[in-house]
Amino acid sequence: MRLSGKIVLITGASGGIGRGLAQRFAREGADVIVHYRSDAEGAIEALRSVEAEGRRGALLKADLGSVSAIEACMQEAFRLLGPVDILINNAGLQRAAPFLEVTEEDYDMVLHVNLRGVFFTTQRFVAALQERKAKGRVINISSVHEELPFPDFASYCLSKGGLRMLARTLAIELAPLGVTINNIAPGAIRTPINTSLLKNRAKLDALEANIPLGHVGTPDDVAGAAIFLSSDDAAYITGTTLFVDGGLLWNYHEQH
């Protein structure tokens, strides 16, 4: 177990990739704080998967769209299981609309969670590490769309592109503090958010034709990358993005 004795906080862990991360980190020996915003049932299932692996787990409900909530969230995280060693910024959302129809409300919602939330959650986490003079790891669950254009999802792409530069900048700034920061950029993954796509044979076939490995990925594919970046094997890696996409990024052709 590569992460025995570590405590990890995973944001947005009530379903999909987040839930997969929770179970896999527990399997590797970590205790897991399962953060969620509204899906209490999913969060409980994630917690059960952690405990089924014989590790400690805890639930943490918070809206990461506001800085005051993030501050309270981090304080509660430390109270629940103890000092956090690894932060996984997984919480995120998207809103589809042609550029000329994007509303201020939807723009703010996407950027507040996907970028502002990551920024200030990471800030509070690193500050807590500094208080105890500890080293730590930050992993952002980004997207292939930090590189790949995605029509009708401009705000989402903007947020993920921001994560790319945030990781590169903080890698330099946080290295002297003993903190590494990296992004994982998933491609098409089997999660509830993609249910309609996965059930549409024609659309799924078209998508998989763009994936050199020939199939969509699973949450465990993403979790495996996160375990690696959290382990001692990745101690000399910071400021980079690890694409978990089956080769999609460099082979994708927009369908018209």
The model's pLDDT over 92-106, given as tens digits with 9 standing for 90+, comes to 998 999 999 999 999
**Domains of the chain, first to last:** 7-192+219-242 (3.40.50.720)
Catalytic residue among 36, 107, 156, 236: 156
Q: Side chain identity at 27, as an amino acid letter?
A: R
User: Does 156 qualify as catalytic in the annotation?
Assistant: yes
Among 54-63, 94-103, 200-209, 226-235, the range scoring the smallest mean pLDDT is 200-209
Q: Which residue has the higher pLDDT, 192 or 120?
A: 120
With bands split at pLDDT 50, 70 and 90, how would you rate the model's confidence at 256?
very low
Share of the chain above pLDDT 70, in %: 97
**What pTM does this model have?**
0.94
